[in-house]
Structure 1
Amino acid sequence: MTRTYRPGALGAMMDEYERAAVELTNLLETVDAPRFVVEYPQEAEKCRSIQKIMRHVIRAAYGCANHIRAALNMPVTVTLPTNLEDKHASIVALQKALNYTAAALDSVGYDLHVRANA
């Protein structure tokens, strides 16, 4: 199957972001329900279970998207998820976070020249 890539540096970033999300989703699909929520108390709070790691990843994805939206003077339109009960909810939430990011970049075009704030 032929893949169409987005143009420019931002397009490449979004393509890579989606590729990584597909790999993560494929990995999550192999995890059974009990293992998704099992906690390892010796780990840091955000890393004690796959469920908590996914919550952190998804909230970070929305945080990144919201920073992009703020830089583009776009409204922040989502509430961050607080609880993801199972792996399927995590997969859906991750896809929604990617769609939210892509929608911001789609609206301005991927050939946008990015200038760092000094």
Structure 2
Amino acid sequence: MSKTSKTYRKGAIGALTDEYEKALDELKIVLLAIDDSQFIKINDSNVDEDFQSVRNIVLHMVRSGYAYANYIRKSFNEERVIPEIKFQTVKDAIYNLDKMFGYTIETFENKWLMTDDEMMATIIKTSWTTYDLEAIIEHAIVHILRHRLQIQKAIAKF
């Protein structure tokens, strides 16, 4: 989680990744409030597997975070990895969220000071739509926020 004395990253990309980190920190606080049995409990078997338990939602979030970073890396012709991700505990989930975020931060090395024009000119085609660089980072942030709220609603039913 973030340090008490925050060092902010440079540039617009830095501001966006600081917000991404903030969203992840808020998610971790929610996750730390539940035990591992609640984490893996199937809450709704009538929905897509990705959303049947808190664990599955977090797994979906981690995999998506890597996908966003890889789409960005592809736009810069950089090496991409697709790790195999599995976990059963809150502690391991948080570790994997941190690892995914670290991979995202590595994605932005040497790009922190891109201008707005450069960011808007960086077009990223995903399997579902087309983004500019700023928009895909914003999407990644909102993805965390949306699923954090979904998890909070599931926890409220425990």
Structures share a fold, TM > 0.5?
yes
User: In structure 2, what is the equivalent of residue 14 of structure 1?
Assistant: 17
Q: Trace 1:46-65 onto structure 2 (pairs within 5 A).
A: 46-65=50-69
Q: Trace 1:40-79 onto structure 2 (pairs within 5 A).
A: 40-79=44-83
1:89 Cα offset (Å)? 1.1
**Given the alignment, which residue of 93, 96, 118 partners 1:93?**
96
User: In structure 2, what is the equivalent of residue 108 of structure 1?
Assistant: 110
Structure 2 spans left out of the alignment, 5+ residues: 124-129, 131-158
SS in structure 1 of the partner of residue 83 of structure 2: coil
Q: Distance in 2 between matches of 1:35 and 1:29?
A: 11
RMSD of aligned Cα (Å): 1.7
Asked if the contact 1:62–1:80 (Cα under 8 Å) also holds between the matched residues in 2, the reply is no
SS in structure 1 of the partner of residue 24 of structure 2: helix
Cα deviation code 1:34-70 (max 9, x no counterpart): 1101102133321100010011000000001111111
1:26 Cα offset (Å)? 1.0
Count of aligned pairs: 116
Whichever residue aligns with residue 23 of structure 2, its letter is A
Q: TM-score, normalised by structure 1?
A: 0.88
Structure 1 spans left out of the alignment, 5+ residues: none
Identity %: 28
SS in structure 2 of the partner of residue 108 of structure 1: coil
User: In structure 1, what is the equivalent of residue 33 of structure 2?
Assistant: 30
